[in-house]
Chain A
Amino acid sequence: MKIRKLLFVTKFESLCYDALHSLLDLRKSGLEHVVFLNVIEREKVAMRRGKGYEKDEEVRLKETANIRFIDWAENLFEMGMEVGAYIEVSSLIPEILQVVEKEKPDLIVIGRSQKGKIEQLYSRSDITELTRRSPVPILVFKHMAENKLVPAKIFERPLFATSWSNSSEKAVACLRELAQVIGDMHIMHVVDEKDLKTADAHKVQQVRKKERKRLDDLCGEFEEKGISARPHVYVGDPETEILKAAREYQASMIILGFSDRTALMERWMGSISRNIADKSPYPCLLFPVKK
Chain B
Amino acid sequence: MSKKVLVVDDDPDVRSFVVTVLEENQYTPLVAVDGVEGLEMIEKEKPDLVILDVLMPRGSGIRLYRHLKTDDTLKTIPVIMFTGIALRSFLKSQKALEEFKGEKVPEPDIYLEKPVEPQELVDAIRKKI
A interface residues, Cβ below 8 angstroms from B? 35, 66, 69-70, 73-75, 77-80, 82-86, 99, 102-103
Contacts and interface: CB of A to CB of B under 8 A. Distances in A.
Interface of B: 34, 54-60, 62-63, 84-86, 89-90, 92-93, 96-97, 99-100
Contacts of A35: 57
Main secondary structure of the interface of A (DSSP, over half): helix
B96 A79 contact: yes
B81 to A, nearest CB: 12
Contacts of A79: 93, 96
Contacts of A66: 84
23 contacts: A35-B57, A66-B84, A70-B55, A73-B85, A74-B86, A75-B89, A77-B54, A77-B60, A77-B62, A77-B85, A77-B92, A77-B93, A78-B89, A79-B93, A80-B93, A82-B59, A84-B34, A84-B57, A85-B56, A85-B57, A102-B58, A103-B57, A103-B58
Contact of B60 (A70, A82, A99): A82
A85 B55 contact: yes
B83 to A, nearest CB: 9
Given A73-B55, A77-B89, A78-B93, A83 B99 contact: no
A256 to B, nearest CB: 30
A66 B10 CA distance: 12
B92 A83 contact: no
Contacts of A73: 54-55, 85
Nearest to B114: A70
A70 B56 contact: no
A135 B109 CA distance: 42
A247 B72 CA distance: 58
A5 B84 CA distance: 23
Given A70-B84, A74-B85, A80 B56 contact: no
B111 to A, nearest CB: 14
Contacts, number: 54
B57 A78 contact: no
A82 B62 contact: yes
A35 B63 CA distance: 14
Contacts of A85: 55-57
A78 B96 CA distance: 7
B57 A80 contact: no
Contacts of B85: 70, 73-74, 77
Most chain A beta-carbon neighbours within 10 Å: one of B34, B60, B92, B96: B60
A82 B63 contact: yes
Nearest to B97: A80
A78 B90 CA distance: 7
Contact of A102 (B57, B62, B100): B57
Given A85-B57, A86-B57, A80 B90 contact: no
A53 B89 CA distance: 37
A175 B34 CA distance: 32
A74 B89 contact: yes
B100 to A, nearest CB: 5
A84 B62 contact: no
Nearest to A83: B60
Contacts of A99: 57
A80 B89 CA distance: 10
Contacts of A70: 55, 84-85
Contacts of A103: 57-58
A78 B91 CA distance: 8
